[in-house]
Amino acid sequence: MTDSFALCGDSAQILEEFPTDSAQLVLTDPPYARAHVELYRILAKQARRVMAPSGSLVTLLGHSCIHTVLNIFEDENPPDLAKKDHDLLRF
């Protein structure tokens, strides 16, 4: 079993330092304001890179941005380019 730990800070900076395919869980709570919605594009790219094949991404977001963020995640992780078999949960 590997060690578990939590880091607090800017996910864009923190995830850059992680090795590829190394994280079982990326849990983040970016700012909810529409002005910050592009942070989810950075998150989508970096989380895809650092997550292990069986890894998960959990992110909190404001209800007014759900569709926008889901579209960003799909844009940044198109099925034909995905190097891993990640599923995007819609509800």
- The larger pLDDT score, comparing residue 44 to residue 77, is at 44
**What is the per-residue pLDDT for 80?**
47
What is the pLDDT averaged over residues 57-69?
A: 86
Mean pLDDT of the chain: 80
Instruction: Please identify which residue in the block is written with the tokens 């599923």.
Output: 87
Per-residue pLDDT at 77 exceeds 50: yes
**Structure tokens belonging to residue 24:** 């079982």
Neighbours of 91 (CB within 10 A): 3
Q: How far apart are CA 82 and CA 30, in angstroms?
A: 24
Separation of CA 66 from chain center = 14
What percent of the chain has a predicted confidence (pLDDT) above 70? 82
Statement: residue 57 has pLDDT above 70 = yes
pLDDT at 91: 38
Q: Tell me what pLDDT residue 71 has.
A: 87
